[in-house]
């Protein structure tokens, strides 16, 4: 870990910096988690888990790369989505729509590096500005993070620290 060279009294302090919790940015608008239970802007991609419309036991791991807009969608057992033969499938469209609800259109567009103007107000209009193509992407890490998030939901509510999170730096200094 890189030490913070500034004296503690010289840097601004927030109460969240001295706890084992992270600030959670509330969603721009409430969203229903049944269709897209997990969405994130991470690893240079908009990525997440989307429920199947036809099989309750099946989910799809979908992603769109920032900049290139290469997209990928496949089941949790690595079978490609059948809807990708016609461009972006309904799972990718649902992922973009939910990302816009979670993070806001401007933030999603900036992250994906999509040029937008005042006329773009929906996820569908944002998708229309993308010119990516089908690009294979490994969804295992995304699905694994989703499962880890589900495990946290099963924990009883507590204000105490979680042992597996002890390695986070207490000062918030990153270097």
Rounded to an integer, what distance in angstroms lies between the CA atom of residue 172 and that of residue 168? Answer: 8
Q: Give the pLDDT confidence score for residue 68 in this predicted structure.
A: 95
Residue 160: inside a domain: no
Residue 47: inside a domain: yes
- Tell me, yes or no, if the pTM score tops 0.75: no
pLDDT band at 47 (very low <50, low <70, confident <90, very high): very high
Rounded to an integer, what distance in angstroms lies between the CA atom of residue 36 and that of residue 19? Answer: 30
Residue 127: inside a domain: yes
Rounded to an integer, what distance in angstroms lies between the CA atom of residue 114 and that of residue 130? Answer: 7
pLDDT band at 109 (very low <50, low <70, confident <90, very high): very high
Residue 8: inside a domain: no
Is residue 62 predicted with pLDDT exceeding 90?
A: yes
CB 76 within 8 Å of CB 138: no
Residue 131: inside a domain: yes
Residue 36: inside a domain: yes
Rounded to an integer, the average pLDDT of 113-118 is 91
* H-helix or E-strand spanning residue 109: helix 105-112
Q: Give the pLDDT confidence score for residue 11 in this predicted structure.
A: 42
Residue 123: inside a domain: yes
- The number of domains in the chain is 1
Provide CB contacts within 8 A for 124, sequence distance 6+.
93, 96, 97
């Amino acid at each position: 870990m890189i030490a913070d060279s500034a004296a503690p009294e010289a840097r601004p302090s927030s109460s969240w910096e001295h706890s084992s919790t992270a600030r959670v940015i509330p969603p721009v608008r409430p969203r229903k988690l049944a269709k897209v239970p997990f969405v994130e802007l991470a690893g240079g991609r908009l990525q997440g888990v989307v429920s199947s419309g036809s099989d309750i036991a099946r989910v799809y791991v979908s992603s769109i790369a920032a900049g290139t807009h290469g997209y990928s969608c496949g089941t949790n057992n690595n079978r490609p989505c059948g809807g990708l033969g016609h461009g972006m499938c309904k799972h990718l469209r649902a992922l973009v729509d939910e990302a816009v609800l979670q993070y806001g259109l401007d933030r999603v567009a900036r992250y994906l590096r999509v040029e937008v103007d005042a006329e773009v107000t929906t996820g569908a209009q944002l998708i229309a500005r993308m010119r990516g193509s089908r690009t294979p992407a490994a969804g295992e890490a995304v699905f694994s993070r989703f499962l880890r998030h589900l495990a946290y939901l099963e924990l009883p509510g507590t204000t105490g620290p979680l042992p597996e999170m002890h390695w986070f730096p207490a000062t918030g200094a990153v270097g």
